[in-house]
Amino acid sequence: MKSNVNRIIAILAIIIVNIGCDQVTKEMAREQIEYNERIEVIGDTLILTKVENSGAFLGMGSDLSPIFKNILLLGLPGLVMVGLFVFLLIKKDLTKLAIVGLSFIVGGGIGNLYDRILYGSVTDMVHIDLGGVFRTGIFNAADVSVMIGTGLILLEQFLTKKDQEKVKEAR
């Protein structure tokens, strides 16, 4: 019983820390960066610039009618976040890596949902350009949480598959 309580506390802590980091960085951007202002943190490689994204990934869906936009950008992600959270709480055989990864995804998703509900858009502020070889769109800490969580889930799947292969070889 105690391990289940600790597990739930860990899940909630990871989610809350992700939401908190996201909201603090967005609030700092809202207060300290002008819209479309360009602040070179590391030359042309790491740039801060504030934009409001009323769509989804890279602004997709920003032209949709309000009803479809609410369904696509609030309703569907809200259901997915609730579903993932419930899954995290009831699925007892998840690995620690899967728990952390899914918690990051839920925290990041909630961070962006919170913005959409409160402000009608998501504040993005970070752009990375590695000399044209690798370039991102403008993103925020919630996006980073979702990407880290996804990376952890992929890593967990890879490690699980390797473990299964070792078991098969041992037979």
Q: Which residues are catalytic?
A: 124, 143
CB 110 within 8 A of CB 23: no
CB 23 within 8 A of CB 39: no
Question: Cα separation of 108 and 49, whole Å?
Answer: 20
Strand arrangement of the beta sheet that strand 46-53 belongs to? 39-42, 46-53, 122-128
84-92: Cβ within 8 A, 24+ apart: 84/109, 85/15, 88/11, 89/8, 89/11, 92/4
Residue appearing with tokens 């989610």: 15
